[in-house]
Every structure is written in C-alpha cells, then in structure tokens.
Amino acid sequence: MNEFNPPRYLAPFESRSFPHLFTDVLVIGSGAAGLRAAIEASRHADVAIVTKDELKASNTDWAQGGIAAAIGPDDSADLHAEDTIEVACGLSVAEAVRSIVGQAPERIRELIDWGAEFDLDEHGEPALTREGGHSRRRVLHARGDATGAELEKTLIARLASCDRIRTLEHTYVVDLLTLDNTCLGAVIWSQTYGMTLVWADAVILATGGAGQVFRETTNPRIATGDGLAMAYRAGCKLCDIEFVQFHPTTLYVAGAARVLISEAARGEGGILVNKYGERFMEKYSPKKELAPRDVVSRAVLSEMHQTGDTNVYLDLTHVSAAQLSSRFPRIKELCSLFDINVSEDWIPVCPSAHYMVGGVWTEPDASTSVEHLFACGEVAWTGLHGANRMGSNSLLEALAMGKMAGEAAGKMSAATGEGKHQRPPEIKAEPRKPEIGAIDLGDVRSSVRSNMWRNVGIVRHRQDLQRAIERFRFWSGYVLERNFSDPRGWRIQNLLIIAELIAKAALDREESRGVHYRADFPESEAEPRHSFTQKPEATAG
C-alpha cells in the first residue's frame, strides 16, 4: 500500500494517534439529498450521516416554493423536460434531464406513502402552482410555503425507521481522506471528541451550496461551500461553477434576514413594481414576472439603478386575503414582524445569491471523478440545470439523485466483501510551530462576501473579476496556509477557495449565458460549452 499522507488540517494538533470510526457508507450532509441517499444506501449497507448542525438544519428546511412533477392531466414528463432544457440555455444534458424529471411522479408517490402531506385542491388532488419557466402548473407545495420543512420532516421520520443508519450531529467534516484517487473516508471534528477519522467503502457528498460566499444571500449560515472545497482538494472535477443563481425577490428590510419571497408568489399573481408604482417586467420579457430567474434578477437590478433605489417592490395587494393566508403563511408572518401587511403594503425586495447551479461533476449514477466518492443535491453538477435552474427542480433533483447516489454507494459497499474493515494505516499529526499574529476571521469573512457581491455578482465585467481574484489571492496568502483548530477557521478557508474558483471560472467564460451575465460580452457563444475546474495536481496525474 502506498504511503498515506494525512490532511494538513491535522497539523495544529499535538502529535498523537486519532480515534477511528468505521462504516460502510458515509453521507456528509442532511438535506433532502443526503437523507434520501442514506435511506436508499441503508437497504444495502450500514450508513453514517455526519452533519455540522442539527439533522434538520439545511437549505431544504428553508425551501418555500415546492417540488416540480408532471402529474397534472395536461402535463407530461416530455413537457417538463422541454421546459427544463429551454431554461438551461444549451448547457443541460438531455439524458440527465429526462432521467430526473421522469422520476418525479414516483418520488412524489413515495413521499406521500412515507407520510408527506401536500396541499390539496377542491377535488382532493395535490394542488399545483406555476413558477417561472414552467409551461404548466406542476409545482406541488405543502403548508402553503413550507414545502422544504414538510419534506425534511418526512425524510427524517422515514430515517428513524431505518435501523442501519446512525447520525452524528454538530460534527464538522474537515476534509476527505483519499489515496490514489480513491476516497477512503473523512476527517471529522466535534467539540466533544475532537478529531476523528471515519473510514468508509463509499462516501456521499450532500453538503448543499455556497450562498454564504456572497454578502446578500437567501442561504442559512451553514451554506459555506465546504463540500465543494473538500471535493476540489481531493482532486474532483468541478463543472460550470461560474453559474450561480440569484433569486430576484428576497425581503429587503434593515435587520431582517434575506429570506426569499417565493417565486410562487408571482405564480399566484404577484407583480413587481418600482418605487413609482410602475410595473416594469413587461419591458424586459414577454413572460413578465414569470420569466426565468436570471432575467427577472437583472431586470430588478436595472430598475434599481434607473430609479436610484435600493430595492423594488412585490405587490400582492390584489390577491385575496384567504389565498395569501393559505398559500403564503410564512411570508405573511415574516412581513408582519416588520409592520408590513401583505394585503395592503408592497413588500420591499431585491436579488440575493440563492443556488449553486454548477458543482461537483457527476456521472448518471452520481459518481464523481474520484473513485468511491459520490455527490448529490446542490453540491453536485448532474446535467439537469445547465446554465440556469428552473424553479422547484432542485428538490426533485435532490430526491432523484439522492436515491441514485445511495443505491450506487450501498451496492458498492455490499460488493466489497469480507475484510473490508481492515485496520487502516496509523496516522499521526506532527505539530507545527505556533503561528504569530491573530486574524480577525469575522473581518475576512465579511471582506470575501462583499468582494463577491460587488465584483462577481449578477452583472460581471473583466476588470471587476480580475480585481476580485487579486484580492482573493492576497487574502489567501495569509489565510489558507494558516493552521486553524476549529470550524470557524476552516469555513473561512473553504469560502476563500470557492470564491476564487467561481471568480476565475466567471473570468474565463467570455459570454453571457443563463445566470452568468458579462456586461463586456453580452452575447452567447455559438457553441455551448462546459467549463471544468480541477486542482492542478489532479489534472497532471
């Protein structure tokens, strides 16, 4: 066996051996994709889920809109696929699109069988709404605008019935353990046990996105791009990471979290107006408020610049009070905390970073370019979204690809045979000299996020991107080489890595396509192309 090189993150700790844990399949992350993957993998193998917060703390829990599925009488998987491919602006993979949207009805039936309660229409059938890019009403929702929470609750309840799954909450995954382009497990850290090495036959990354790399984001504080950074360090191929979707309507009130105002609010009749009360979306798209999110985000930004205002407004005052209460109870309650009565007042909104469209490149079975490592959910690139994600396709993708990843990883472990848990090589960390000088991590975090928002945001330009990269490289010089001993420092390092990679990919793509808009290259290239990002040592091998 070749010599095993431990991750440098073990260096700050005194020279000693580390405790070991063994499992068949290790799932990193507890959103919809991770939970669905764990449930499926447990049919074939023992599974451990590691999550850095509580089991339910994820982007899934925050998701308001719904799950797209072609189950209406006037709909079909073919129509769903056509809409998805159109919104993807030439960069989706048709086979992947058809595979994922084709699973939708089955995944919905499965959720209902497991206890999910979707909102129903007057005939007792799932109520369907429409969002931007969809040509039919095909978005299911639960408790009005709490679909993600219902989904998370259902999957966690199902998880509890699987006796081959154990969970480790409040546990941070520091890095992946790899040897000869094969993933062997991960290094984890917790306040109680410190560093521990987890060995697994297969590892599934389901760590979500990286919205926190931007100053304005709908994502919770845990969305710091850790999985993307770990995959990059492990030598994984990343695909199209310059494509970051900005949600056009997030609540913009001083002191309020940048909580998204669901696209379904526009699907149910909400209109966008500027500070003069003028409806403006018809100037930018014949689809008006139901145009794809990238179009709406740029329109909102343009209107803000033209009016000199910090936001625009979402007008729901013409929607009935009963409809507002049944469809958007969370939004209504949130706005009321800031003395906004959605039946009478316009809601101040502006765009915020929302979803990583690109990610870790995967095959149809969710495997990555590193052996025994799988990825699903927002951290992964599957070929579904292309250059722009269509609303409510993300929860569907999480469920469909979570199942695929869990099945592939579980079967891989089951096929490994006896002796698979032989004791791994002894690993020790040698202490390094103490580092001189303290770093204000909060200031670094704020600087990274502000730099991304100003220079790598909704509208991009060569000079801005070059300026952003220069600053990232300067900060990296004294942050990435420093030895931290707790998650605060590791998260900042991951943010820095992903921020620079996104900016570099955005600089290299000299065209405008989907959510990536270059003011200096406003046209799309004739031939759509994917971009790939990989650690230099990995490509050299």
pLDDT tens for each residue of the chain, 541 residues long: 233 444 444 444 444 567 888 999 999 999 999 999 999 999 999 999 999 887 765 555 555 568 999 999 999 999 999 999 999 999 999 999 999 999 999 999 999 999 999 999 888 999 998 887 899 999 999 987 778 889 999 999 999 999 999 999 999 999 999 999 999 999 999 988 888 999 999 999 999 999 999 999 988 888 999 999 999 999 999 999 999 999 999 999 877 777 888 877 887 889 999 999 999 999 999 999 988 888 899 999 999 999 999 999 999 999 888 888 887 888 888 889 899 999 999 999 999 999 999 999 999 999 999 999 999 999 999 999 999 998 899 999 999 999 999 999 999 999 886 555 555 666 655 545 445 467 899 999 999 999 999 999 999 999 999 999 999 999 999 999 888 888 999 999 999 999 999 999 999 999 999 999 999 999 999 999 999 999 987 665 4
φ, ψ dihedrals at 356, nearest 5°: -80, 110
The reported pLDDT for the residue numbered 395 is 94
Report yes or no: 293 and 349 within 8 Å, Cβ to Cβ: no
Give dist(CA 385, CA 115) in Å, integer. Answer: 29
The amino acid present at 402, given as its one-letter code, is: G
What's 259's DSSP letter?
Answer: -
If asked whether residues 252 and 339 sit together in one domain, one would say: yes
**Is residue 389 annotated as part of the catalytic site, yes or no?**
no
The reported pLDDT for the residue numbered 482 is 86
Indicate the residue among 351, 372, 393 that finishes a domain: 351
If asked whether residues 189 and 304 sit together in one domain, one would say: no
As a whole number of Å, the CA-based R_g of the chain is 23
Domain count of the chain? 3
* Cα dihedral across residues 439, 443, 446, 450: positive or negative: negative
Q: Is residue 509 part of a domain?
A: yes
Give the CATH number for residue 499: 1.20.58.100
Q: Is residue 12 part of a domain?
A: yes
The reported pLDDT for the residue numbered 420 is 56
Indicate the residue among 310, 328, 351 that finishes a domain: 351
By residue range, what is the domain housing residue 522? 441-540
Give the CATH number for residue 228: 3.50.50.60
Give the CATH number for residue 287: 3.90.700.10
If asked whether residues 271 and 209 sit together in one domain, one would say: no
If asked whether residues 375 and 487 sit together in one domain, one would say: no
Q: Report helix, strand or coil for 9.
A: helix
Residues 6 or more apart whose Cβ sits within 8 Å of residue 20: 196, 197, 198, 199, 423, 424
If asked whether residues 173 and 238 sit together in one domain, one would say: yes
Choose, from 215, 233, 258, 293, the residue flagged as catalytic.
293
| Distances from the Cα of 339 to the Cα of 161, 283, 336, 357, angstroms | 43, 31, 5, 35
Q: Report helix, strand or coil for 46.
A: coil
Indicate the residue among 351, 386, 402 that finishes a domain: 351
Q: Is residue 319 part of a domain?
A: yes
If asked whether residues 258 and 345 sit together in one domain, one would say: yes
If asked whether residues 43 and 154 sit together in one domain, one would say: yes
Largest CA distance in the chain: 71
Q: Is residue 46 part of a domain?
A: yes
Q: Is residue 59 part of a domain?
A: yes
Give dist(CA 199, CA 187) in Å, integer. Answer: 9
Give dist(CA 284, CA 267) in Å, integer. Answer: 17
What residues are paired with 166 via a beta bridge?
48
Q: Count CB neighbours of 433 within 10 A.
A: 6
If asked whether residues 399 and 467 sit together in one domain, one would say: no
If asked whether residues 261 and 287 sit together in one domain, one would say: yes
Residues 6 or more apart whose Cβ sits within 8 Å of residue 486: 189
If asked whether residues 285 and 239 sit together in one domain, one would say: no
Alpha helices in 247-375 (DSSP H): 264-267, 293-307, 321-327, 329-336
The reported pLDDT for the residue numbered 245 is 95
If asked whether residues 50 and 184 sit together in one domain, one would say: yes
Residue whose C-alpha is closest to residue 101's, from 79, 125, 130: 79
Q: Is residue 147 part of a domain?
A: yes
Cite the beta strand spans of 241-372 per DSSP E.
244-251, 271-273, 312-315, 347-356, 359-361
Q: Is residue 134 part of a domain?
A: no
Q: Is residue 77 part of a domain?
A: no
Give dist(CA 195, CA 10) in Å, integer. Answer: 8
If asked whether residues 163 and 15 sit together in one domain, one would say: yes
